[in-house]
Amino acid sequence: MKESQFLKQVVRSLLAGQLKAAADPHRPRWHLAAPVGLLNDPNGFIEHGGRYHLFYQWNPLGCAHANKGWGHVTSTDLLHWQHELPALLPIEPYEQSGCYSGSAVSDEQGRLTLIYTGNVKYPDGSRTAYQCLARADGEGGFAKLGPVLDLPEGYSGHVRDPKVWHDGRQWLMVLGARTLDNRGEVLLYRGDALDGWMLVGPIAGSGCGGLGEFGYMWECPDLFPLADRHVLISCPQGIDPRGEDYRNLYQCGWLAGRFDGTQFEHGAFHELDRGFEFYAPQTTQDSQGRRLLFGWLGLPEENEMSQPTLEHGWIHQMSCPRELFWQDDWLCQRPVAEIETLKGEPTRFKGRPGELPALTVDSAWLDLALSGEGSLGFGAVAELVWQPGRLVLRRQNWQSGEWEERSCPWLGGKITVLCDRSSLECFVDGGRQTLSTRYFPGENPILSARCDGNDSKICLDHWPLTACLVQ
């Protein structure tokens, strides 16, 4: 399709669908969601020219995983976003099956430059992929510069999601990959320019660094320094559940270690978020030196296509913006401080679960200190159960109606829960663990509590959060 034809369809889709999507009672009040259609991975997250830029995988024409381009929003505070022109639409032959995920950098001349995967699927089911460049055209859009890297030898057509950075001497890039014998890997490239890349080799993956067999594909890698170490975040596919671990269809986790520009020596793989929906996160370092992260509160190919928002012509949302930090050698996450500015009048409750006043969790920040055993209900379809040493997030599956759970270890510390219409993000023990989920309660869900023992106590601080709409 020609770009002008595609754009006309985007305009029609927006004109016909935007009001309906905005009127959905499940629509987030302060999280990012696409104006219409399907949103998945955060892409190209960067602070550039005094603004935060966030791009996202976007099907502007419907709620299926098709027609993937990049939507683009900008902000000065990570909360109040402004829509920009669609940055990439899948027009050219080398991206005909989608402008897939990637990253953004400021090039040698300070120009905002996107590096993304051009995905091409063939009728026989095979595919290929090109890593491509696009540069800000000075008019709010991006000019495509075409492919700069083909598939490496020995790899399948699943090589994608370039994350690029400059280490002060050279450009470096990590790519998610699947070998011809179905092992998931992260590949490292280096280059003197953004259009000339040399393969260094795999730096992590299935069968590397003591991981043993660890999935057939690793998506969306992100390698970055944090204090005195490096962290590699990536999303392995093809790992079986093991007890309380790896319960989702695809995983998202982190490895910490030492990166010397060529090799990455790392420790064990840990899940980054232990809830139901969290995938394909991307980080950037901002001018305050913070390592910030957005994740997709979704997961491909599970029961996404029965989410009730489909009736309103949109699907999925981002996580809240989070900041990464170390505590006791463990990678932790906290909501960025900016979110506190959305807090309204506080309510404090201290007492037994049965005495809890009726507080709305439609859009709220909760700080919780819990003792004994009990559970907190979020409307009728999700609950957070606390037990000695363990927190369990339960929800009623919107497709099957059955209750299902995800859990994490709990040291008994503070829990923060961010609620926004159809999402919950729990930061456990000050962010050592997170549990994120979508859920679809009735309108204006109320917090309720149940105690499972005689000595259960709740200390709760509740703030409503003000809506901040995308303009």
Q: Report in angstroms how near the CB of residue 373 gets to ligand FRU at its nearest.
A: 37
Determine the Cα–Cα distance for residues 206 and 214; give it in Å rounded to an integer.
4
Residue choice 27, 160, 316, 395 for contact with ligand FRU (CB under 6 A):
160
Locus of tokens 């098709």: 66
Would you say 221 or 321 has its CB closer to ligand FRU?
A: 221
Closest CA to 41 of 246, 324, 217, 293: 293
181 catalytic residue (yes or no)? no
Q: Whole-number minimum distance, CB 288 to ligand FRU, in Å?
A: 28
- Tokens (6 digits) for 156: 């399948």
Query: Helix, strand or coil for residue 34?
Result: coil
- Residues 184-222: b if buried by 16+ CB within 10 A, e if exposed: bbbbbbbbeebeebeebebbbbbebbebeebbbbbbbbb
What is the rounded distance in angstroms from the CA atom of residue 408 to the CA atom of residue 404? Answer: 14
* Total residues binding ligand FRU (CB under 6 A): 14
- Nearest CA to 434 out of 304, 325, 300, 316 is that of 325
Residue 435 and residue 439: Cα distance in Å, rounded? Answer: 13
Q: Does 316 bind ligand FRU (CB under 6 A)?
A: no
143 is written with which tokens?
């000019």
Q: Assess 132 for contact with ligand FRU (CB under 6 A).
A: no
| 101: Cα separation from own chain's centroid | 12
**Is residue 56 within 8 Å of residue 32, measured between CB atoms?**
yes
Q: Minimum distance from CB of 58 to ligand FRU (Å)?
A: 9
Out of 280, 292, 370, 424, the residue judged to bind ligand FRU by CB under 6 A: 280
Catalytic annotation, pick one of 41, 273, 362, 420: 41
When asked if residue 101 is in the footprint of ligand FRU (CB under 6 A), the reply is: yes
Under the binding rule (CB under 6 A), the answer on residue 113 touching ligand FRU is: no
266 binding ligand FRU? (CB under 6 A): no
CA 105/CA 163 separation, integer angstroms: 9
- Cβ distance to ligand FRU smaller for residue 61 or 280: 280
Nearer to ligand FRU, 416 or 436 (CB): 436
CA torsion angle 397 400 401 405 (round to 10) = -40
Task: Write the DSSP string, 420-460.
Answer: ETTEEEEEEGGGTEEEEEE----SS-EEEEEESSTT-EEEE
> With respect to ligand FRU, which residue has the nearer C-beta, 57 or 407?
57
Q: Which of residues 15-44 bind ligand FRU (CB under 6 A)?
A: 40-41
Min dist. Cβ of residue 408 to ligand FRU (A)? 23
Helix (H) or strand (E) holding 342: none
Distance CA 49, CA 51 (A): 6
Instruction: Select from 47, 185, 219, 362 the one that contacts ligand FRU (CB under 6 A).
Output: 219
Question: Quick check: 103 binds ligand FRU (CB under 6 A)?
Answer: no
Among 47, 95, 161, 222, interactor with ligand FRU by CB under 6 A = 161
Contact flag: residue 57 with ligand FRU (CB under 6 A) = yes
**Closer CB to ligand FRU, 17 or 118, in the complex:** 118
Among 188, 220, 256, 426, binds ligand FRU (CB under 6 A): 220
CB of 118 to ligand FRU, least distance (A): 11
Among 75, 117, 251, 433, binds ligand FRU (CB under 6 A): 117
CA nearest to 371, candidates 387, 347, 349: 387
What is the distance between the alpha carbons of residues 292 and 321, in angstroms, rounded to a whole number?
7
Name which of 191 and 300 has its Cβ closer to ligand FRU: 300
In the complex, minimum distance from the CB of residue 235 to ligand FRU, in angstroms, rounded to a whole number: 7
Give min distance, CB of 262 to ligand FRU, in A.
25
Closest approach, Cβ 59 to ligand FRU, in A, equals 8
Residue 68 interacts with ligand FRU (CB under 6 A)? Answer: yes
* Pairing mode, strands 37-48 and 390-396: unpaired
Which CB, 64 or 337, lies closer to ligand FRU?
Answer: 64
Please give the residue ranges that form the binding site for ligand FRU (CB under 6 A). 40-41, 57, 68, 100-101, 117, 160-161, 219-220, 279-280, 300
Residues labelled catalytic: 41
